[in-house]
Homo-oligomer: A and B are copies of this chain.
Amino acid sequence: MEPGFKEENSREKDAPRQNLAISAYRQLKHDIIRGRYAPEQKLLMSHLKEQYGASTGPLREALSQLVADRLVVAISQRGYRVAPMSLAELNDIYDARAQLEGLILRLAIERGDDDWEATVLATAHRLAKVTDINTPDDLLDLWDQRHKAFHTAIASGCNSPHLLQMRNTLFDQVERYRHLWLQETVMSPQALELKRQEHAALVDVILARDTAEADTLMRDHLMTPVPIITRVLKDRGIS
């Protein structure tokens, strides 16, 4: 009788280990996505060692994982650098994401059962309730968390672990750009209300099983941040 904790918590990637390389991986990933390191900044081993309290061995494992995630690039024998950002990658990454999310949504509408509909409704409700919190940081964190839960609930209807895994991989890559958008729009009440309406419309067409309309709405919804992120990148001199 095995204790049934078959590590089903596939939060981001699979956890390769629970010890020291994985914690360095999580923290480094978090810091890169949040923009703590500039796009082409060199990642010094000496700095990483004292920053994350790990030696070269575990650090190299963490960096290898991040290279697989396309958040870090490794150059022959010249160490590691944070992956560059560009307008070209921004456009491609958001396009790929919108296309994949559209595909998954169409499959979910086709394959989703009653439990799926119930979960979509529940997470949408939870998200819509995030309107009246004062401290902006807490608001942003909570909104973002429930927003992710909402979209993940929709996607889960496709019933394909591998498609969902690829969705996660792509989301890790998009999140570095997406963070620029979250920082820029300080989650103003009108922006929040606009998003709330988009989500409500999305839920409507999903429950109506209107595949074509849902696909269109979802892609427009996902592409919204692109012009704003483009402006931020241009302001920072990134082409």
Question: Across the interface, do A99 and B103 meet the contact criterion of CB distance under 8 Å?
Answer: yes
Interface majority SS on A: helix, strand, loop or mixed?
helix
The one of B74, B103, B170 that contacts A17, using a Cβ cutoff of 8 Å: B74
CA of A221 to CA of B75 in the docked complex: distance in angstroms? 39
Closest to A166 in B: B166
A155-169 interface mask toward B, CB cutoff 8 Å, 1 = contact, 0 = none? 000001111011001
Contacts of A97 in B (CB 8 A): 162
Question: Across the interface, do B162 and A173 meet the contact criterion of CB distance under 8 Å?
Answer: yes
Query: By the criterion of a CB under 8 Å from any partner CB, how many residues of chain A are at the interface?
Result: 40
Question: Across the interface, do B166 and A169 meet the contact criterion of CB distance under 8 Å?
Answer: yes
| Contact status of A162 and B93, CB under 8 A, knowing A16-B67, A103-B103 | yes
The one of B57, B163, B165 that contacts A99, using a Cβ cutoff of 8 Å: B163
Q: Is A65 an interface residue (CB 8 A)?
A: yes
Q: Is A68 an interface residue (CB 8 A)?
A: yes
Copy tally for this chain in the complex stands at 2
A164-205 interface mask toward B, CB cutoff 8 Å, 1 = contact, 0 = none? 011001100100000000000000000000000000000000
CA of A100 to CA of B169 in the docked complex: distance in angstroms? 14
Q: Is A19 an interface residue (CB 8 A)?
A: yes
The one of B57, B70, B76, B103 that contacts A60, using a Cβ cutoff of 8 Å: B57
Contacts of A18 in B (CB 8 A): 76
Question: Across the interface, do B14 and A96 meet the contact criterion of CB distance under 8 Å?
Answer: no
With A17-B76, A64-B68 already in contact, 20 other A-B pairs whose C-beta atoms are closer than 8 Å: A14-B68, A18-B76, A21-B64, A57-B57, A57-B60, A60-B60, A61-B64, A65-B65, A65-B67, A68-B69, A70-B165, A93-B162, A96-B163, A99-B103, A99-B107, A99-B160, A100-B100, A166-B166, A166-B169, A169-B169
